[in-house]
Amino acid sequence: MKGKLKGIKLLIIDDEAEFAATLCRRLRLRNIDAVDAYSGQEGLVRLTEVNPNIVILDLKMHDMSGLDVLEKIKASDASIEVIMLTGHGSIRAGIEAGEKGAFDYMIKPVDLPDLLGKINEAVKKQAEGNEGKT
């Protein structure tokens, strides 16, 4: 798993700063080039700086809805795969996110092995998409 994820760039956008920072640190320990942002607006700025393959995006943030951020990410680069993080009660919104192009959604708190598995699937899908273009 580590080998497959090495070389990808990942952006975590979550206004729960402690969560985003610690998750980012744990992913870096696994050789994943992860960067964090603590609001929707900051996330969109970081998006252009980092140019990530994968984004992990919280659905409910204080400044912007995760769905709005998702739309902007997809508008800037449709090949970026977005994994949404939702509360249990926001499953409907998670499904809506899927309709708007999110790769998948996961319910918080998330087990790291499950998240790594989902990131791996997203990377695979992205690679298949890139192969189709060439």
Partner 1 sequence: MTAGMTGEREQAIRRRQMASFGRLLADFSHEMCNHLAVIQEANGLLEDILAMEGGEGTPLFAALGEATGQIGQRVRRSAEFCQHLSGMAHRSDTPFSSFSVNELLAELAVFLERSARSRQVALLLELGQEIDPIYNEPALLQHVLYQLYAFSLDLLSNGQTLIISTAQAEAGVVISFRLVGVPELELAGMSETVQAAVVSLGTKLEHMEITGEGAVDSSGFRLLLPSLSVA
Where do contacts with partner 1 occur on this chain (CB under 8 A)? 16, 18-19, 22-23, 25-26, 29, 60, 87-90, 107-112
Q: Report the residue number, 99 or 111, with the smaller CB distance to partner 1.
A: 111
Evaluated on CA atoms 105, 106, 112, 118, the torsion sign reads negative
CB of 88 to partner 1, least distance (A): 4
Q: Report the residue number, 77 or 114, with the smaller CB distance to partner 1.
A: 114
Q: Which helix (H) or strand (E) element contains residue 126?
A: helix 112-133
Question: Alpha-carbon distance 49 to 37, whole Å?
Answer: 12
Residue 52 sits at φ, ψ, to 5 deg, of: -80, 160
Q: Report the residue number, 112 or 127, with the smaller CB distance to partner 1.
A: 112
DSSP state, residue 88: G
CB of 118 to partner 1, least distance (A): 15
CB of 70 to partner 1, least distance (A): 19
Largest CA distance in the chain: 41
- Give the pair of three-digit tokens for residue 50: 């980092």
- Give the pair of three-digit tokens for residue 83: 């994994």
CB of 58 to partner 1, least distance (A): 9
Q: Report the residue number, 16 or 33, with the smaller CB distance to partner 1.
A: 16
